[in-house]
Amino acid sequence: MLKKLTAEFIGTFWLVLGGCGSAVFAAGFPELGIGFLGVAFAFGLTVLTMAYAIGHISGCHLNPAVSIGLWAGGRFPTTELLPYIVAQVAGAIVGAFTVYIIASGQPGFDLAGGLASNGYGAHSPGGYSMQAGFITEVVMTFMFLIVILGATHHLANPGFAGLAIGLSLTLIHLISIPVTNTSVNPARSTGPALIVGDWAMAQLWMFWVAPIIGALIAGVVYRWLSPNEE
């Protein structure tokens, strides 16, 4: 169990460092910046690389919503749920703190930029409302879990699961970065929010509630859709 939790910690650390780090360090350079497209691929690549690095150790959840969705789908034991979530949140916090330490080495750095925090209203990249953000996070997490549950099903080709899951997260970011900066992951949202504080902490509730709702619905739906679960 300790090895599983350590793997989840490392994997979620990598997701936040790679995804949020790309947004903070590399997205905004004139002409050379990677932009939304690059950040979307960065998040997808963190999951893709970790799927093959630690998937055989912990299952590579890296996300409380994923663990909850797998539990709802009958794929994950109740006894491991809370420890996984704690390890994921801890990894995200350390990842966000690492991004902050590196970013603060640049002259003029200011946390007002948000450190890639998720938000709605005035803190949505496109100015989208709380309602739009909530619906987006529920639907995107639902689809993410449908892909995960399908790609990791015992009748699916296991060698391609990491590719499907990583690319689906990339697609999700391509759709929803303008709306909420894309969460679909309460741990990913918590790390930067704790450092930024203020508005990021005030809006953090949505990036726990909406992804968990989406994940729970996906778990139940996929369990019905694929009755030959083992």
- Residue 84: which CATH number? 1.20.1080.10
Comparing C-alpha atoms, which of 88, 63, 92, 66 is closest to residue 216? 66
Asked, for residue 230, whether it belongs to a domain, the answer is no
Tell me, yes or no, if the pTM score tops 0.95.
no
Asked, for residue 39, whether it belongs to a domain, the answer is yes
Asked, for residue 9, whether it belongs to a domain, the answer is yes
Token pair 């109740």 in the structure block, residue: 78
Count CB neighbours of 110 within 10 A.
10
Segments forming the whole domain that contains residue 59: 2-225
pLDDT at residue 37 in the model: 92
Total domain count for the chain?
1
Residue-by-residue pLDDT tens, the chain, 230 positions: 999 999 999 999 999 999 999 999 988 786 778 889 999 999 999 999 999 999 999 999 999 999 999 999 999 999 999 999 999 999 999 999 999 999 999 888 888 888 999 999 999 999 999 999 999 999 999 999 999 999 999 888 878 999 999 999 999 999 999 999 999 999 999 999 999 999 999 999 999 999 999 999 999 999 999 867 65
Asked, for residue 136, whether it belongs to a domain, the answer is yes
DSSP 134-152: HHHHHHHHHHHHHHHHHHT
pLDDT at residue 203 in the model: 97
Structure tokens at 74: 């009958």
Comparing C-alpha atoms, which of 32, 41, 96, 91 is closest to residue 64? 91
Asked, for residue 198, whether it belongs to a domain, the answer is yes
pLDDT at residue 55 in the model: 93
Asked, for residue 211, whether it belongs to a domain, the answer is yes
Asked, for residue 197, whether it belongs to a domain, the answer is yes
Asked, for residue 90, whether it belongs to a domain, the answer is yes
